Amino acid sequence: MGIDSQVSYRKKTTQGGVMQIDLRNVRTRWINVDKDEEKARQMNELLDSLGFTNHERFSAVTGIAPHEGVRPGEEHYRNCAESHFKILEETILADGEPVLILEDDVEVNPEAFVAEFPIPENADCIYLGVSTGDGSFEAINNNDGFAKIKRVFATHAILHMSKEMSEDIIRFGKKWIYEMCRPFDVGIAYEIQSMYNVYTPHIPFFYQADSKNTFNKWEEVTKNPLPMKKKFTIGTMI
């Protein structure tokens, strides 16, 4: 990706095709609706306390109407998706540099979070927060504190490493929110994750805090670890 010369958020190692990530130096954009000033204050305090040096607020897209009959609590899903798409277009799709996208209802899991950690060098995307979704997920342990995943929901904390995957997230995501009338994280889970190398820490670094949501209560399904299916080493990943 041609990024090592600019920032120190990663450094390659020679053992097993892994690279070291330092989230404190990763370009980070967090989505926040203009009227939610308290959440903006909380996000600034949270990321500053974690030592993040390159984070910026993104003014959330608003005003896109949901489909008729949308489930209560999901009225905003098209706006949320378009916010993610716009950040991808302005960052990784513009310059090829990775970007961490956070939603403003996140809280850090202090028992799991580490700023610096090794990941497989072939990673296209790292889900730093997950949801068990409809229960059809697959999480395969790689013995380094991370798992390769498929059919995993949630978009509240994703580190995007691949320009190609980012393009597909927008392409398939728009289909799901406008043609299939479903949240785009479901589309990513079912149509995209199996096409790329997507990983998550065994215990989520970030979860969606009930205290920051007035309607949806997703803390329980986003804070708990995903059950692992089996173990394998980086050298046997497919």
- What pLDDT digit, counting tens, does each position of 105-134 carry? 999 999 999 999 998 899 999 999 999 777
In a domain, 151, yes or no: yes
Contacts made by residues 67-72, CB under 8 angstroms, sequence distance 24+: 67/181, 70/181, 72/215
What is the SS3 assignment for 79? helix
Q: Is position 197 within any domain? A: yes
Q: Is 233's pLDDT higher than 50?
A: no
What is the token pair recorded at 141?
């342990």
Banded pLDDT at 217 (limits 50, 70, 90): confident
Higher pLDDT, 146 or 29: 29
Task: Look at residue 13 and tell me whether its pLDDT is greater than 60.
Answer: no
Of 3-7, 49-53, 212-216, which has the strongest mean pLDDT?
49-53
Q: Report the distance separating Cα 233 and Cα 114, nearest Å.
A: 21
16 — pLDDT class (breaks 50, 70, 90) = low
Enclosing domain of residue 183: 12-233
Alpha-carbon distance of 165 to 93, in angstroms, equals 10
Is 2 among the domain residues?
no
Q: What is the pLDDT of residue 142?
A: 73
Q: Within 13 Å of residue 114, how many CA atoms lie on the same side as its CB?
A: 12
CATH number of 196's domain: 3.90.550
- Residue 203 confidence (pLDDT) above 70: yes
pLDDT at 192: 96
- For residue 147, tell me if it sits in a domain: yes
| pTM higher than 0.85 | yes
Q: What is the pLDDT of residue 134?
A: 77
Judge whether 6 lies within some domain. Answer: no
Confidence of residue 31 (pLDDT cuts 50, 70, 90): very high
User: In 3-state terms, what secondary structure has residue 42?
Assistant: helix
Which parts of the chain are beta strand (E)? 10-12, 18-22, 28-32, 55-59, 99-103, 106-108, 116-120, 125-127, 138-141, 146-150, 157-160, 198-201, 206-208
The 10s digit of each residue's pLDDT in 60-102 is 999 999 988 888 778 899 999 999 999 999 999 999 999 999 9
Tell me, what's the pLDDT at 137? Answer: 87
**How is residue 37 written in tokens?**
């000033």
| Residue 236: pLDDT over 70 | no
Please report whether residue 238 resides in a domain.
no
**Arithmetic mean of pLDDT, 143-148:** 83
Q: Could you tell me if residue 1 is inside a domain?
A: no
**Number of folded domains that form the chain:** 1
Q: Answer whether residue 4 is part of any domain.
A: no
